[in-house]
Amino acid sequence: MTKRAPHRTAAFAAVLFGTAAGCAGAQDSASEPPRGGSAPPATAPHGAPGLRGFTLVATGDVLPHDSVIRQAKLDAAGDGYDFRPMLAGVKPVVSGADLAICHMETVYGENGDYTGYPAFKSPPQIAWALADAGYDSCSTASNHALDDGAAGVRRTLDALDEAGVQHAGSARTAAEAERPAWLTAGGAWVAQLAYTFGTNDYPMPEGQPWAVNLIDERKIVEDARAARRAGADVVVVSLHWGTEWETDPDGQQLSLGRVLTASRTDGRPDIDLILGTHAHVPQAYEKVNGTWVVYGMGDQIAGTMINYSGAPDPRGNQSSIGRFTFAPPRTHGERWRVSRAEFIPQWMDTEAGRVVNLPAALSGGEGPEEYKQAQSAIREAVLGRGGAEDGLTKGR
């Protein structure tokens, strides 16, 4: 990490206005909370009558620096932390999708012990704001996933569970680590898997080698195939990868993207969508072997970002929302296919402390010049590997 200069109202209020979130004790597999609902039936109804298409949106890194935490405290009038206003500008897009996936890059602290860079411990009230915005699941595998060891992982997943947001990529038990997040939309079962390139040299907690999923080509394919055997119609893989501050995807991203999208079982792709995070800047969307790969969505929430040259870099507050429309298979054995692929430029306005839907904010061609510049830069990055030729368009 680089330096930086409708439905749950009563429960939300209890968490929001308390300065600390309760944490359950360590859990074993017998007492583990449910994740993602039940697994799908062994005989999922591929191509059955009545199936309909669905939309899936995905967004980039939620990275609460000290300034972001202060803004949330200010928005709660000094009594707790309220991140809902920060996300209000993109809530219509997120909540309007059938499924919405975020990336929770940091872990949660407790009892007011909240910190930004370099070792993040974020207020758990973020989980409730994500739920309020409409997110169904978050990837939690990142290079900051072990910033506070096993306790940080547990607090984070406990809070997401309490808020009703599923998660994939880190785990409290070995059994939990073996399961994807299970989601449903349009009659399809969707399995989300998540992995990171590393954990900033923090070792896995003692006796918990499964605490955070690390990128391993063979394991990702095995996990995707296992999810398919368990009944997944759509397999989504979230990858925390790439090189910070590089707009172009690096060699590992390109190589791994090719390998994963080429993997097939009985002629059917094992993975249906790849969602990338980590680079802090928007990166391209590309169709590889017939499957969309988002190399990097950028930072959705972050403070003012300082690049490796020591200068404030506006790219660190630019990102995209990916929106993919899946159509059901036309015949038995076919995949759910992406019939429409869109990107929506968004910008973290650090002065206002708000995430901005840029096309909506610039409707009619009017708006701040920095918004126009951000939208142009995001568009250039996202389309940098020929996505437009494969039908990628800008949404709003």
CATH of the domain at 252: 3.60.21.10
The helix/strand count (H/E) of the chain reads as 11, 17
Mean pLDDT of 170-190: 97
pLDDT value of residue 16: 34
Separation of alpha carbons 295 and 291, rounded Å: 12
Domain count, the chain: 1
CB-based contact 226:262 (threshold 8 Å) = no
pLDDT digits (tens, 9 = 90+) for 310-360: 999 999 999 999 999 999 998 888 999 999 999 999 999 999 999 999 999
Residues 113-135, mean pLDDT to the nearest whole number: 98
Residue 26 inside a domain? The answer is: no
pLDDT category, 39, cuts 50, 70, 90?
Answer: low
Residue 205 lies in a domain: yes
- Give 235-286 pLDDT, tens digit per residue: 999 999 999 999 999 999 999 999 999 999 999 999 999 999 999 999 999 9
How much is the pLDDT for 26? 32
Residues 300, 293, 222, 211, Cα dihedral to 10°: -10
Alpha carbon distances (Å) from 86 to 3, 70, 373: 21, 12, 21
46 part of a folded domain: no
Q: Is residue 237 part of a domain?
A: yes
Q: What is the mean pLDDT of residues 188-196?
A: 98
Q: What is the pTM of this model?
A: 0.90
Q: Does residue 374 have a pLDDT over 50?
A: yes
| Whole-number Å distance between alpha carbons of 344 and 337 | 20
Pairing of strands 264-265, 273-277: unpaired
Q: Tell me the C-alpha to C-alpha distance, in Å, between residue 58 and each of 74, 107, 116, 139, 392.
A: 27, 19, 24, 10, 15
What is the spatial distance between Cα 292 and Cα 338, in angstroms, rounded to a whole number?
A: 8
Judge whether 23 lies within some domain: no
130 confidence band (pLDDT: 50, 70, 90) = very high
Q: Which residue has the tokens 């409707």?
A: 363
Cα–Cα distance for residue pair 168/192, rounded to 1 Å: 7
Q: What average pLDDT does the structure give for the chain?
A: 90
For residues 124-148, average pLDDT: 98
| Domain region containing 140 | 54-394
* Mean pLDDT of all residues in 72-88: 96
